[in-house]
Structure 1
């Protein structure tokens, strides 16, 4: 029985890959910057897809480059004396591996899993159940709809409904491809709900696990590296 369950997930992974944007033979770079001027140079390289809005504390950024642009981009980095390391020669291999591992974990797991990334449908199902499971602590509400008409859900967690307290706002899942953001917020919500946490004596938590549901769902089904929402914007295609 377990064999067929795993086989089903393997087949579903392969079917999803048929429709998805491919990053085959894209290279993944770690770029080491010496100053802000170098970062500005990177921002003007159109074929270099930066993964960072700003460099990390140690001055590094991550980026990917398409197969048909990599020789030109690498030469441009060399000409600018910017140090880099090729971390992966086929980015799609990493994406496929992540997708397979997530599906395998879900195949063996039961219920909502806080130890892996979850689809938008699973997240919404979990949020729908929270209010019934923790009626004295949790309230599920909506702050509106996305461009594609999806509900943007907010989870309000408080220990004493009658008592007003300062609000801690957590807005997660703004950038679609950053799956760790919704996962972190959901883990925090679970900690607050399942434990008598002292923070609830002082604060009320308003948590939006997926602020950009259209983009988040799109990264699961079509383009793993999609960053924005799904409202058409010719000036910012990605």
Structure 2
């Protein structure tokens, strides 16, 4: 492994790179323990961006690894791959071209569209508009501000009632760069409102239950991906004593906090934060769910990518007490999703289906007592990864609606 000699010589610190010309996304296929070691050594020596799994520590033999490599390191990586004889392919030839190619119909920064990746300011205006124009079915509530002072607003969908109704909690955009996720939450709200009264299932759902929708969880990070760095993942909080910014909100919940699959390094993309709920966004959501624990019967969180429908646990390999029921629901929902376009999802507990990851929102909600807790990893399986083109928003949201409606119908039938 002579290539290891290059690591120390060529490793340099990169500034926050907002352009990605010449960068590539590789899928490497480690099959030997020495391949795994090599990838981990590479990650320690140069700045690579793990797309799947989410950090070097989660790399195992026999599992594909998707990494974004800056242009200045391409020769090094190609040398490493050649000398190690590790199988690989290039998923994205030029990351900047893929970034530019996401917007299929050209930019429209001010007009909201359900088939575009809207900026935070556009989404914020949409939240106000959708609530005011559907007052009979929608109310909005601030659950607090983000680190940078932006308002976190929940939309409550449901027929008005004099007494509290059982509810489903749905959030999108925990990870800033997963743009298809907030697109789905907006799609869900619109679909629920426009089909109420004509779609029997949706009408029944909103008559009998409420749906709390948080359109963008990590608002600061999402805004930053539109203005500075498309590949940003974390929050934007600052910690004294560290020049690195943000924590991973989906490692910051108090569920096996900072053990498996999470990092205590503030510079890591999977940094668990200084303490559980150190991120104000996480604390705001956790406080809301705790406050409404008596009515929230299901928790759904939308991520990308990999086409997976996961459920607890991710922080341990132990099976959830209701494993069989959760697996049955996930498989039924995945089947409903597949019925539209043939998109195949894999179902199972997070730790064994994808990789162990402590501090996740779904595990935390489940341990709190929210029985039906699921994480969606939407399209695709790596061809575009986080850079899914806008042309795929509509089919992705349409099929995901079928899965969410399947879960909602199950929850509704098993309320009492």
Shorter chain as normaliser: what TM range?
Answer: 0.7 to 0.9
**3-state SS in 1 of match to 2:102:** helix
**3-state SS in 1 of match to 2:106:** helix
> Which residue of 1 is the match for residue 174 of structure 2?
174
**3-state SS in 2 of match to 1:175:** coil
* Residue 88 (str. 1) matches residue 88 (str. 2): no
**Aligned-pair distance for 1:175?**
0.6
> Which residue of 1 is the match for residue 66 of structure 2?
62
* Residue 211 (str. 1) matches residue 226 (str. 2): no
**CA distance, structure 2, for counterparts of residue 49 and residue 151 of structure 1:** 29
**Aligned-pair distance for 1:222?**
0.9
**Aligned-pair distance for 1:117?**
0.9
**CA distance, structure 1, for counterparts of residue 35 and residue 209 of structure 2:** 43
> Which residue of 1 is the match for residue 134 of structure 2?
134
**Aligned-pair distance for 1:188?**
0.7
Distance 1:40-1:201 versus aligned 2 partners, 3 A rule: farther
Structure 1 residues 93-122: Cα deviation after superposition (integer angstroms, max 9, x where no partner): 1112225x3534x38xx9521011101011
Structure 1 residues 177-196: Cα deviation after superposition (integer angstroms, max 9, x where no partner): 11001001110111111212
* Residue 103 (str. 1) matches residue 106 (str. 2): yes
Distance 1:52-1:39 versus aligned 2 partners, 3 A rule: farther
Distance 1:154-1:36 versus aligned 2 partners, 3 A rule: farther
Q: For structure 2, which runs of at least 5 residues remain unmatched after alignment?
A: 1-16, 197-201, 245-265, 270-416
> Which residue of 2 is the match for residue 29 of structure 1?
26
TM-score (norm 1): 0.78
Greater CA deviation, 81-90 or 141-150?
81-90
**3-state SS in 2 of match to 1:69:** helix
Q: Do the aligned residues in 2 keep the contact of 1:48 with 1:73 (CA within 8 Å)?
A: no
Structure 1 residues 134-176: Cα deviation after superposition (integer angstroms, max 9, x where no partner): 1111011111111111111111111233243222111211111
* Residue 199 (str. 1) matches residue 205 (str. 2): yes
Distance 1:64-1:132 versus aligned 2 partners, 3 A rule: same
**3-state SS in 1 of match to 2:142:** strand
**Aligned-pair distance for 1:43?**
5.0
**CA distance, structure 2, for counterparts of residue 136 and residue 27 of structure 1:** 49
Q: Do the aligned residues in 1 keep the contact of 2:111 with 2:122 (CA within 8 Å)?
A: no
**CA distance, structure 1, for counterparts of residue 160 and residue 131 of structure 2:** 15
**CA distance, structure 2, for counterparts of residue 41 and residue 202 of structure 1:** 55
Greater CA deviation, 110-119 or 142-151?
110-119
**CA distance, structure 2, for counterparts of residue 214 and residue 148 of structure 1:** 7
**3-state SS in 1 of match to 2:20:** coil
> Which residue of 1 is the match for residue 328 of structure 2?
none
**3-state SS in 2 of match to 1:232:** coil
Q: Do the aligned residues in 2 keep the contact of 1:136 with 1:161 (CA within 8 Å)?
A: no
**CA distance, structure 2, for counterparts of residue 168 and residue 86 of structure 1:** 40
Q: Do the aligned residues in 2 keep the contact of 1:102 with 1:117 (CA within 8 Å)?
A: no
> Which residue of 1 is the match for residue 48 of structure 2?
48
Runs of 4+ in 1 over 4 A off after TM superposition: 33-41, 78-81
TM-score (norm 2): 0.46
> Which residue of 2 is the match for residue 236 of structure 1?
267
RMSD across aligned positions (CA):
2.8
Distance 1:193-1:86 versus aligned 2 partners, 3 A rule: same
**CA distance, structure 2, for counterparts of residue 213 and residue 73 of structure 1:** 34
Bigger relative contact order (CA 8 A; separation at least 6)? 1
Distance 1:44-1:206 versus aligned 2 partners, 3 A rule: farther
**CA distance, structure 2, for counterparts of residue 171 and residue 35 of structure 1:** 38
Distance 1:111-1:65 versus aligned 2 partners, 3 A rule: closer
